[in-house]
Amino acid sequence: MNNESNPKRTTAQILFDQLDHMTCHLPIKQLLSEIQIIIERLSFSEICERYKNDQVAQKNEVDMLFEGEVSDAMLDFVHWLIEKNGLGVLSDKAGRMFLGYCIRSYKDAPEVKLITAVQLDNEFAKTLINKLRILYPAPTRIVYYIAPNLVAGIVIKDGSKTIDLSLNSFMVKTVKQRITSTAKAGAQ
């Protein structure tokens, strides 16, 4: 692992920053579960030793070992580690130490849920998340969910408050206003 940019940063910090960057859209609970799965399986497999100098073979084995078990973003992180000849840091004692570092680092990290009715175009989703970053700076994780029952619009939940810009809430407000205005008009 190369540490040229800032010699004071530890390997764990460099790995964590890369992991956080590559998986910033995953819920923390999912991220930690996936890291744990990877560490456990790499510790019991012999991928790191068997294919020590063969990155292509390591990637193929990792893909086969984790297919359907971890997110694409997490697989991309593991592939990044392979390219840096650092897969061993997710195995055995080093892996357990890195998992502990991640758990401590994410312990108090807030999470904001961005909920939409449909899958957003990647560019639009990035733009929306970047705008939310103004209100919720890092280390807050902005996690994207799809809830078809919204019909249209978005809902933002930050744990303490909810901003509901969905069609559902608009329709409820509109219907209540109509009923209230009709009731007032009928009373006169």
**pLDDT, tens only, 103-129:** 998 888 888 888 888 888 878 888 888
What single letter denotes the amino acid at residue 73?
Answer: A
Instruction: Record the pTM.
Output: 0.72
Of the candidates 42, 146, 135, 54, the one whose C-alpha atom is nearest the C-alpha of residue 93 is 42
Q: Tell me the CA end-to-end span of the chain in Å, nearest whole number.
A: 78
The set of residues, in sequence order, having a beta carbon less than 8 Å from that of 80 and lying 6+ positions away, is 18, 22
Residue 1 pLDDT > 80, yes or no? Answer: no
Mean pLDDT value of segment 162-180: 78
Residue 3 has a pLDDT of 46
Using a pLDDT cut of 90, give the percent of the chain over it: 35
11 pLDDT band, cuts 50/70/90, is: confident
